[in-house]
Amino acid sequence: MDYKGKLNRQFPAKISTTAFTSIYILHLVDKYGKMYGQKILDTINEQMGTRWKPSRGMVYPLLREMEEEGYLKAWWDEPDKRSIRYYRITEKGARHLDKMKIKYKSSFQDALKIVNTAIDEIYDGQI
pLDDT tens-place string over residues 3-35: 455 555 555 567 788 889 999 999 999 999 999
**DSSP one-letter string for 81-95:** TT--EEEEE-HHHHH
Q: Which residue has the higher pLDDT, 99 or 114?
A: 99
Q: Which residue has the higher pLDDT, 5 or 67?
A: 67
pTM of the model: 0.81
* Per-residue CA distances from 90 to 7, 73, 83, 97, 105 (Å): 39, 6, 22, 10, 22
pLDDT at 26: 98
Q: Are 87 and 36 in contact (CB under 8 A)?
A: yes
User: Residue 43: pLDDT above 70?
Assistant: yes
User: Residue 66: pLDDT above 50?
Assistant: yes
Q: Over the stretch 74-83, which tens digit does the pLDDT of each residue have?
A: 999 887 787 8
